[in-house]
Structure 1
Amino acid sequence: MDTEIELKYLVLGDNIPAVITNLLTQLKHPFSCETKTLANCYFDTPDLALRKADIGLRIRQNNKGEIEQTIKTAGVTVGGLHQRPEYNITLESADVNLTLFNQEIWPTGFDVKSVQEQLSPLFETNFKRMTWLITMPDNSQIELAFDQGEVRSSQSSEAINEIELELVSGNENSIFTLAHSLISVIEIRPGTLSKAARGYGLVFGRTESHISSGSTVLVIENGMTISESFKAGFSECLTQLQQLVSQFVTKQNLQVLKEISDTLALARHGLWLYKDYLPSDKSDSIRKQIKAVLAELVWVEPALQIRELTTKKGNYRKKIEYSKSLLAELKNEKHQLIDFQQMLKLLHAEAFNKLQLSMLEFILNDLDEVHSTELLDLAPSWLSLNLDTLDKAIHRDKPLTSAEYIENHHLIIRSLLTGSWFGGLYSVDKRMDFRGPWLDIHLGIDELETLTLLKGHLQQSSEDIPQKLVCWLDDKVENLLCALEHCKAAALNLQPYWLK
């Protein structure tokens, strides 16, 4: 058995082999290079017995006539790094024979004979592979493969255009060293799905999970140490980030960009919460990288607000139509803000890829456990600190103005982010009862910010604004402030779920 340790990247651009060869030559890394054609057929039973057991089975043939049968069992994928046990057997013909594998690889109760009898081809992955076997300065060896071809089922196909970095021998960190060099010369993004997973997606359909930052609670458990809990939460942030990027690349959407921004904010908040337990130089560096990417996404929130004002199905469109010039002005501003092509470049650019690589390295590196603080001491202290700060800022017994709600919005967001990190340690029902009113306040301030944006446009307008539009806007703000006060009173009177 071999355990693959490899990074996968989806590639943009042309002349990739020449770019790779030139890079390795410039870096003075010794390498050998070869090209081969690979035809792969994946098998499963009608009831997907292999897939349910998280097993992949393929027969691979190359242009030299060599045939190999491969089983890959359950592994781990984090941030484009794939680690899966792999079993290979050379065959004389392209006929599957599961009995050739050691019986110890199969899950308990797995009926090899029955599965063998029911196997049939599901899909193929056929591609040209160019490989570079590279010797790094520390003598680690890495195989860099560039694959071009397609995944094909009987119904459809999908292009393969990807790079894989696999550690052959030596230090795992050498993969990251080479990856940092690659992303400086090639437009790429992490590939979170294997070729097999993409094939299954073609056959059975691929459903993208809906990700909402408001409902996110990271999978952190009571038995974890502080370092384990940080790694689990930060890893989940990275996985969620890359799922969202994949969704945006497939179909450009403002809301997905907003969720990308919110997920980056959640990751950055974790670095802040755990700052006393993390290497400060690496932690600060990643926070600065996240800040730089968030600066590129700062336009998304106002673009969403303008979309809400101008969309035909929105709550405000009919009222805004009282002023045709205002509607035209808002549409023009939205058009100027949105540049999805620029966002696609950002998500394949060196800075964004280096950020994700830095996050992945941070997750994989060992963190010291020399502190005495327990996770169940850290969590309530941060949750209570955020709530105390809020309580002082939003005046329990005094109504807030629009400006005051908007001014304190960041404190509410910060408190919700802390709940996203530590909420999983506590009762779901109690957590949701407590979190609900604060989420309502957060959404109410979002709407208040949209109305404030509209009010600003009205005040700057050179035309006479219809009085009924002004009156409607004033009434809308007043009613919203009233609702926010009710939510505030309810939120501040709830017993915190983290206190016994």
Structure 2
Amino acid sequence: MEIELKLASPDDALDIFERSVLPLLKGEITREEHQLFNEYFDTPDQLLGQRKIGFRIRVKNEEIEQTVKTKGSVEGGLHQRPEYNIELQEAKPDLTKFDADIWAPDFDVEAINQQLVSMFTTNFRRVTFDLINGDDHIEIVFDQGDVKNQSGRLPISEIEIELKKGDPSALFDIADQISQFIAVRLSNTTKASRGYQLVTGNLPETKNLPKFLRLNETHTTEEALCLAIQTALKHWQHHEHVYLQSGHLRALHRIAESIELLLQSVSLYLPVLQCMELLFLHKQLLTLHEQWRWQEDLVCIRKLRSRKGPFSRKIPKSQMLMSYLNGRREGLLAVQSPENLLASRESILVQLSASRILVEKPWRQQVMSYDSLVLEHAKGWLSQGYQTVMQSLPKKQAMDHHNYLALEMLLRTTLINGFLLAELFVESRGKFRAPWLDLLTGLKEIKSLVFLNEVLKEVEVNDVEDLDDWIKEKLKSVITVMERSRKVAMSADVYW
């Protein structure tokens, strides 16, 4: 079983490491350097890729080796994946040489072996530092090169910290030391996945979170928190990759969404799984969440400029306003520099802390109830959030947009709690969340209109009075719909 942390790194990572990090490491260290050429194989319809199987032949010096990596798991940035190696006399792929036990019962090795074709190659310089410190044996690997096929090439620049023997916590200690000097990111993207990206020609796309976290009644409190952290980190790391590959601005919203989910997950479970490590992560997340608040303006700009949606009949018709919003967006991106934020020390520290917690589970040393069923806490948590929201909503008085804006953070955190726990009540939850989610949708429209109102104070447009009137009417319309949704939401029976 291969256990490693994978870090995306800048081109000068090796130089910085040897100059600033290597002298700080303890233990016996040896250095090796090789040029590695790998050729990846699959069937024309990618039967191996569909099963998350990677198959390659590697040439190093005069040695030839074929490797199969079967489907594993990624927790945060920690990769665990079965790996099987066979030495070859010639660079000819042959799946039948592997032990038959590694294949699924429905995997026809002979038939698939006959269909294998070359899909892409990787060619990179690998510098390996072999570190032995007490009971821990770790490889720190720097890879620099590219993956290519007939369609093009993608760069490879990454650090792999692999555990050969010992405590997985040692991986995080080294990653933390590296991140003090090098702008790295935790990555869940493999070289093979980048190769398949070239084969298909498809850029990675944004994804929605699932409707609910996939819990069941047998999950313990510890398992539920770990699943929430894994889900948030996976969503975050995927959309980092999407943004850096495609520049898709929606990916930035998904990253902020991931950070908020991670923050609320820790906030929810902290009273039960109390420990200093979780408390420290919570503090880190509060800081990082604040650093990403700017993207809410980016969301407003996108909604206002969209040629689809609630503002499409008005805003896109004003060229002056559209031009200003475009400039405001570009200025926001230039000032905030998402690429630098993604590689910031604060960002990598949060991801490393969260991933380390998944491995170490530090609350086990301090509390006894970590293995209690999460269902024992869920009803109380949901009731507490629901009652707080209900007490903030007037039963007989109408609400205006100021009232709703004041309620936004409370509503969002309560709905995230529902995302985290509602799957425990799958038979009874029904459509309880729908009107509450409608309120959140309405709040996004309110924020966009308020943002537009501020914009009109800064830009000269010919029809400013007409736009002012339109904003007022639009706010009234949105509030009217939200008040109907609020009435439905407040009258519904809870599902827990």
Q: Identify the residue that residue 83 of structure 1 maps to in structure 2.
A: 80
Q: Identify the residue that residue 338 of structure 2 maps to in structure 1.
A: 343
> Residues 208-219 of structure 1 correspond to what in structure 2 (within 5 A)?
208-212=204-208, 216-219=211-214
Q: Identify the residue that residue 73 of structure 1 maps to in structure 2.
A: 70
SS in 2 for 1:142: strand
Instruction: Supply the distance in 2 between the matched residues of 1:484 and 1:277 (Cα, whole angstroms).
Output: 35
Instruction: Supply the distance in 1 between the matched residues of 2:353 and 2:316 (Cα, whole angstroms).
Output: 48
Pairwise CA distance, 1:312: 6.4
> Residues 74-473 of structure 1 correspond to what in structure 2 (within 5 A)?
74-136=71-133, 138-206=134-202, 208-212=204-208, 216-309=211-304, 315-316=310-311, 333-339=328-334, 342-366=337-361, 367-368=363-364, 370-371=368-369, 373-427=372-426, 431=429, 433-456=431-454, 466-473=464-471
Give the letter aligned to residue 34 of structure 2. Answer: K
Instruction: Supply the distance in 2 between the matched residues of 1:458 and 1:52 (Cα, whole angstroms).
Output: 51
Pairwise CA distance, 1:75: 1.2
Name the CA shift for 1:161/1:329 in 2 (closer, same or farther; >3 Å): closer
Instruction: Supply the distance in 2 between the matched residues of 1:316 and 1:73 (Cα, whole angstroms).
Output: 48
Q: Identify the residue that residue 43 of structure 2 maps to in structure 1.
A: 45
TM-score, length-scaled by structure 1: 0.90
Instruction: Supply the distance in 2 between the matched residues of 1:321 and 1:204 (Cα, whole angstroms).
Output: 35
Q: Is the 8 A contact 1:167 1:175 kept in 2?
A: yes
Instruction: Supply the distance in 1 between the matched residues of 2:158 and 2:323 (Cα, whole angstroms).
Output: 44
SS in 2 for 1:212: coil
> Is 406-415 or 154-163 further displaced after alignment?
154-163
Instruction: Supply the distance in 1 between the matched residues of 2:97 and 2:462 (Cα, whole angstroms).
Output: 83
Instruction: Supply the distance in 1 between the matched residues of 2:163 and 2:86 (Cα, whole angstroms).
Output: 20
Pairwise CA distance, 1:120: 2.4
Task: List per-residue Cα deviations over 1:63-98 (Å, max 9, x = no partner).
Answer: 2x0111212222112222211111112222222333
Q: Is the 8 A contact 2:206 2:242 kept in 1?
A: no
Task: List per-residue Cα deviations over 1:451-493 (Å, max 9, x = no partner).
Answer: 2233445578899975433332222222221111101001112
Instruction: Supply the distance in 1 between the matched residues of 2:247 and 2:374 (Cα, whole angstroms).
Output: 39
Q: Is the 8 A contact 2:235 2:258 kept in 1?
A: yes
Task: List per-residue Cα deviations over 1:284-340 (Å, max 9, x = no partner).
Answer: 111111121122212211233244345666754775699998777666554443327
Task: List per-residue Cα deviations over 1:170-189 (Å, max 9, x = no partner).
Answer: 22111111110111111221
Instruction: Supply the distance in 1 between the matched residues of 2:14 and 2:466 (Cα, whole angstroms).
Output: 65
Instruction: Supply the distance in 2 between the matched residues of 1:7 and 1:323 (Cα, whole angstroms).
Output: 50
Q: Is the 8 A contact 2:306 2:316 kept in 1?
A: no
SS in 1 for 2:82: strand
Q: Is the 8 A contact 2:40 2:120 kept in 1?
A: yes
Q: Identify the residue that residue 485 of structure 1 maps to in structure 2.
A: 483
Give the letter aligned to residue 263 of structure 2. Answer: R
Task: List per-residue Cα deviations over 1:121-155 (Å, max 9, x = no partner).
Answer: 2221121111111233x441211111112212232
Instruction: Supply the distance in 2 between the matched residues of 1:339 and 1:37 (Cα, whole angstroms).
Output: 38
Instruction: Supply the distance in 2 between the matched residues of 1:84 and 1:408 (Cα, whole angstroms).
Output: 45
> Is 368-377 or 195-204 further displaced after alignment?
368-377
Instruction: Supply the distance in 1 between the matched residues of 2:311 and 2:117 (Cα, whole angstroms).
Output: 56
Q: Is the 8 A contact 2:430 2:495 kept in 1?
A: no
Give the letter aligned to residue 382 of structure 2. Answer: L
Instruction: Supply the distance in 2 between the matched residues of 1:349 and 1:236 (Cα, whole angstroms).
Output: 21
Q: Is the 8 A contact 2:147 2:194 kept in 1?
A: yes
Q: Is the 8 A contact 1:221 1:229 kept in 2?
A: no
> Is 122-131 or 460-469 further displaced after alignment?
460-469
Task: List per-residue Cα deviations over 1:356-410 (Å, max 9, x = no partner).
Answer: 0111011112353722853222112211221111111111222112211111111
Q: Is the 8 A contact 1:322 1:469 kept in 2?
A: no
Name the CA shift for 1:98/1:468 in 2 (closer, same or farther; >3 Å): closer
SS in 2 for 1:129: strand
Give the letter aligned to residue 236 of structure 1. Answer: T
Pairwise CA distance, 1:30: 3.4
Instruction: Supply the distance in 1 between the matched residues of 2:27 and 2:110 (Cα, whole angstroms).
Output: 48
Q: Show structure 1 runs of 5+ residues with no match.
A: none
Instruction: Supply the distance in 2 between the matched residues of 1:81 and 1:295 (Cα, whole angstroms).
Output: 26
> Is 182-191 or 50-59 further displaced after alignment?
50-59
SS in 1 for 2:71: coil
Instruction: Supply the distance in 1 between the matched residues of 2:240 and 2:430 (Cα, whole angstroms).
Output: 28
Q: Give identity over the alignment, percent.
A: 31
Instruction: Supply the distance in 1 between the matched residues of 2:56 and 2:459 (Cα, whole angstroms).
Output: 66
Aligned Cα root-mean-square deviation (Å) = 2.8
SS in 2 for 1:113: helix
Query: Does residue 1:21 correspond to 2:18, yes or no?
Result: yes
Give the letter aligned to residue 483 of structure 1. Answer: V
Task: List per-residue Cα deviations over 1:257-298 (Å, max 9, x = no partner).
Answer: 222112111111111111123243111111111121122212
TM-score, length-scaled by structure 2: 0.90
> Is 304-313 or 24-33 further displaced after alignment?
304-313
Task: List per-residue Cα deviations over 1:428-472 (Å, max 9, x = no partner).
Answer: 7x6461111111111111211222233445578899975433332
Name the CA shift for 1:386/1:30 in 2 (closer, same or farther; >3 Å): same
Instruction: Supply the distance in 2 between the matched residues of 1:306 and 1:10 (Cα, whole angstroms).
Output: 31
Instruction: Supply the distance in 2 between the matched residues of 1:326 and 1:84 (Cα, whole angstroms).
Output: 52
Q: Show structure 2 runs of 5+ residues with no match.
A: none
> Is 39-48 or 451-460 further displaced after alignment?
451-460
Instruction: Supply the distance in 2 between the matched residues of 1:475 and 1:61 (Cα, whole angstroms).
Output: 69
Give the letter aligned to residue 176 of structure 1. Answer: F
